[in-house]
């Protein structure tokens, strides 16, 4: 009887021991999970804060710009000539930003072509072979990289790239603004030449081009002329909204 | 009576000292199993206080309930129904009942030890 009771007590002890261990293990395992998640959350929040800060900065710049404009208009409100002057200057600025004027400034000219030794043999065939492998994405990523590093104006083979420019591959030809372009490409960029060169070298775009068989040869220049955008679409179907009182 | 409590406390200490960590996906099963285990332990304490304790019932109940609860949670996850809720509700209710019974029995014992107080209470 006593032995049975001892066995029973031992069993009770071990079972409660196991239950206690389960409790402790669960407590330890569950008290942690926030760790990994919260780190991701912190990174996420940081990125969001960064984006919002940039937006905030841009909006403030815009506000500042409009305030300046408003004060200009106010100062010129007595004199009609001055108003039209200010508006004319605004119009010119808008046209410049839209790419409707040719621009000059320090920058780069990028020559994209097959390597010289291939040209000596059969230039046309060499270029054709590479051209077929070229994708519009490659050209677009190059242009994006340039704009993303402070390029003020970019043109490819004398076609100016503006906000609604397109670079597309249509049945084996690359078209910029629906105009087909052929090798060699001459990309003119106005901007900080050193910064643009550095950015290009850091990105893997020259490597991608080299894998296709194209070499990008940059040429720093003090004065680069980027032509104006040619076929500009007229606004055909937009109408003014009724102004509210 | 104090044996299960001692076992619990020593088990908790051992668990903390050993620093075992289960993968997070298992923590749900362990939680439900833990609920069943605690219910069994407190049920055993109640049965002991009532004098109806049976070691076989206790130990078989422990393992069976624990595995059943974890199994329900696992099955529920596989078939897409929160079956673990059934375990939570049932074992939670039983836990409350057992603790309430334990409390009642202990209180009765405590009042019985002071017969004069008990007399006065009975008269009131």
Tokens of B94: 């039983």
Average pLDDT of every residue of chain A: 85
Per DSSP, the residues of B4-40 read HHHHHHHHHHHHHHHT----GGGHHHHHHHHHHHHHH
Q: Do B15 and A22 touch (CB under 8 A)?
A: yes
B40/A3 Cα distance (integer angstroms) = 24
pLDDT band with cut points at 50, 70 and 90 for residue A32: low
Q: Do A22 and B37 touch (CB under 8 A)?
A: yes
B53 contacts B44 by C-beta, under 8 angstroms: yes
A156/A227 Cα distance (integer angstroms) = 10
Q: Does any CB of chain B come closer than 8 Å to the CB of residue A6?
A: no
Query: Would you state the pLDDT for residue B119?
Result: 63
Neighbours of B79 (CB within 10 A): 8
Give contacts of A28 with chain B, Cβ < 8 Å.
15-16, 19-21
Q: Do A16 and B41 touch (CB under 8 A)?
A: yes
Q: What are the tens digits of pLDDT across the range A205-228? A: 889 888 888 889 999 999 999 988
Question: In A76-115, where does DSSP find H-type helix?
Answer: 80-98
Q: Does any CB of chain B come closer than 8 Å to the CB of residue A29?
A: yes
Query: Would you state the pLDDT for residue A56?
Result: 93
Q: How far is CA B44 from CA A154, A197, B47, B54, in A?
A: 82, 78, 5, 8
Give contacts of A15 with chain B, Cβ < 8 Å.
7, 40-41, 44, 58-59, 62
Q: Does any CB of chain B come closer than 8 Å to the CB of residue A14?
A: yes
A199 contacts A149 by C-beta, under 8 angstroms: yes
Query: Would you state the pLDDT for residue B117?
Result: 58
Q: Do B15 and A33 touch (CB under 8 A)?
A: no
The alpha carbon of residue B74 is apart from the nearest alpha carbon of chain A, in Å, by: 17
The alpha carbon of residue A21 is apart from the nearest alpha carbon of chain B, in Å, by: 4
A70/B72 Cα distance (integer angstroms) = 71
User: Lowest mean pLDDT: which of A31-40, A130-139, B51-60?
Assistant: A31-40
Query: Would you state the pLDDT for residue A199?
Result: 92
Give contacts of B4 with chain A, Cβ < 8 Å.
12-13, 16
Q: What values do phi and psi take at A232, rounded to 5?
A: -100, 135
- The residues that bridge with A167 in the sheet, in sequence order, are A176
Query: Would you state the pLDDT for residue A60?
Result: 93
Query: Would you state the pLDDT for residue A242?
Result: 78
Question: Closest Cα partner for B73 from B22, B65, A33, B42?
Answer: B65
Q: Do B8 and A22 touch (CB under 8 A)?
A: no
A194/A108 Cα distance (integer angstroms) = 9
Q: Does any CB of chain A come closer than 8 Å to the CB of residue B115?
A: no
Q: What are the tens digits of pLDDT across the range A49-65? A: 999 999 999 999 999 99
- Check pLDDT > 80 for residue A33: no
pLDDT band with cut points at 50, 70 and 90 for residue A35: low
Query: Would you state the pLDDT for residue B112?
Result: 85
Q: What are the tens digits of pLDDT across the range A86-126? A: 888 888 888 888 888 888 999 999 999 888 887 777 888 88
**Which residues in A213-228 are b (16+ Cβ under 10 Å) and which e?**
bbebebeebeebbbeb
B9/A181 Cα distance (integer angstroms) = 81
Rounded mean pLDDT of A133-137?
88
Percent of chain A clearing pLDDT 70 (strictly above): 93
Tokens of A137: 């994405």
Provide block-wise average pLDDT over 10 residues at a time, chain B (124 residues): 83 88 81 91 87 87 91 89 89 94 91 69 63
Residue that is written with structure tokens 């815009």 in the block:
A62
- The residues that bridge with A173 in the sheet, in sequence order, are A170
A134/A153 Cα distance (integer angstroms) = 23
Percent of chain A clearing pLDDT 90 (strictly above): 24
Query: Would you state the pLDDT for residue A156?
Result: 92
Q: Do B3 and A28 touch (CB under 8 A)?
A: no
Q: How many CA atoms lie within 13 A of A52 on its CB side?
A: 6
A108/A101 Cα distance (integer angstroms) = 19
């Amino acid at each position: 009887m006593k032995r049975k009771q001892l066995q029973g007590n031992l069993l009770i002890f071990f079972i409660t021991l196991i239950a206690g261990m389960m409790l402790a293990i669960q407590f330890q395992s569950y008290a942690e999970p926030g760790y990994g998640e919260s780190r991701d959350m912190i990174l996420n929040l940081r990125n969001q804060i960064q984006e919002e800060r940039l937006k905030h900065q841009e909006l403030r710049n815009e506000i500042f710009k409009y305030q300046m404009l408003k004060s200009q208009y106010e100062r010129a409100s007595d004199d009609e000539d001055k108003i039209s002057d200010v508006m004319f200057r605004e119009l010119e600025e808008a046209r410049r930003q839209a790419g409707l004027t040719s621009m000059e400034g320090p920058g780069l000219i990028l020559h994209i072509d097959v390597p010289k030794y291939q040209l000596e043999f059969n230039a046309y065939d060499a270029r054709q072979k590479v051209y077929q492998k070229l994708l519009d994405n490659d050209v677009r990523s190059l242009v994006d990289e340039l704009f993303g590093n402070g390029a003020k104006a970019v043109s490819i083979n004398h076609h100016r790239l503006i906000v609604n420019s397109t670079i597309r591959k249509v049945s084996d030809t690359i078209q910029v603004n629906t105009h087909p372009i052929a090798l060699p490409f001459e990309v003119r960029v106005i901007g900080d030449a050193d910064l643009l060169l550095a950015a290009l070298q850091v990105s893997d775009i020259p490597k991608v081009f080299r894998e296709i068989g194209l070499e990008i040869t940059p040429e720093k220049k003090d004065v680069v002329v980027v032509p104006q955008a040619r076929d500009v679409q007229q606004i055909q179907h937009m109408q003014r909204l009724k102004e509210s009182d | 009576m104090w044996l299960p409590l001692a076992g619990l406390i020593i088990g908790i200490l051992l668990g903390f000292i050993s620093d075992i960590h289960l993968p997070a996906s298992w923590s749900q099963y362990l939680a439900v199993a833990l609920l069943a285990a605690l219910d069994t332990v407190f049920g055993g304490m109640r049965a002991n206080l009532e004098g109806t304790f049976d070691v076989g019932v206790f130990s078989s109940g422990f393992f069976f309930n624990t595995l059943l609860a974890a199994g329900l949670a696992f099955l529920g996850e596989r078939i897409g129904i929160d079956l673990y809720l059934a375990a939570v509700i049932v074992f939670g209710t039983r836990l409350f009942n057992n603790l309430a019974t334990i409390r009642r029995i202990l209180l009765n014992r405590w009042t019985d030890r002071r017969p004069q107080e008990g007399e006065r209470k009975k008269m009131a």
